[in-house]
Amino acid sequence: MCTRVECCEEEKLSDLLYNWFQLESLGINDSLSGRSETDEKMIQKFEENLRFENGRYVTGLFWKREPVDWKDNFHLAKRQFHRFQGELKTNSFVRNQCEEIILFQKANNIVEECNESETGYFMPYRSVVRKDKSTTQVR
């Protein structure tokens, strides 16, 4: 590898070398002046939430915000599920795979049945079909 440095009358060799090393050290040197306001807020939040518990350091996740108050969507989820059931009537392979998946998840307490008297946020099942996969084509 060869690096060429030319020196003009206006610039001194030391200035050129300084600029070159500054460029080469980008991302390596921690420059306090290079921090944005967002960076400063994130560092402050990190330091405020950092604590030592049971021999380990623990802090919150920066991207995790306050919990969202999900609205009751039972009827919307039910309508989406009925549409999905209609799609399954035309594809017996996907229907059988989905039945196996749901039975497995139900047996392992991953999903549960719900009724109209329950309130909260409901996430209807939706399959992902990948025919190019040899092991798990439906998930």
Sign of CA dihedral 46, 47, 48, 49: positive
Highest mean pLDDT among 17-26, 69-78, 125-134: 69-78
pLDDT of residue 108: 93
- Cβ atoms 121, 73 nearer than 8 A: yes
Residue carrying structure tokens 């092991």: 135
| Whole-number Cα distances in Å, 26 to 5, 40, 64 | 19, 18, 29
Average pLDDT for 5-24: 71
Average pLDDT for 6-28: 71
Q: How many CB atoms lie within 10 A of CB 33?
A: 4
The domain limits of the chain are 35-69, 71-111+122-138
pLDDT at 36 over 60: yes
| Whole-number Cα distances in Å, 115 to 7, 16, 78 | 79, 73, 10
| Whole-number Cα distances in Å, 69 to 43, 73, 121 | 28, 12, 9
pLDDT at 41 over 60: yes
DSSP 95: H
pLDDT at 32 over 60: no
User: In the structure, what pLDDT confidence band is assigned to residue 139 with cuts at 50, 70 and 90?
Assistant: low
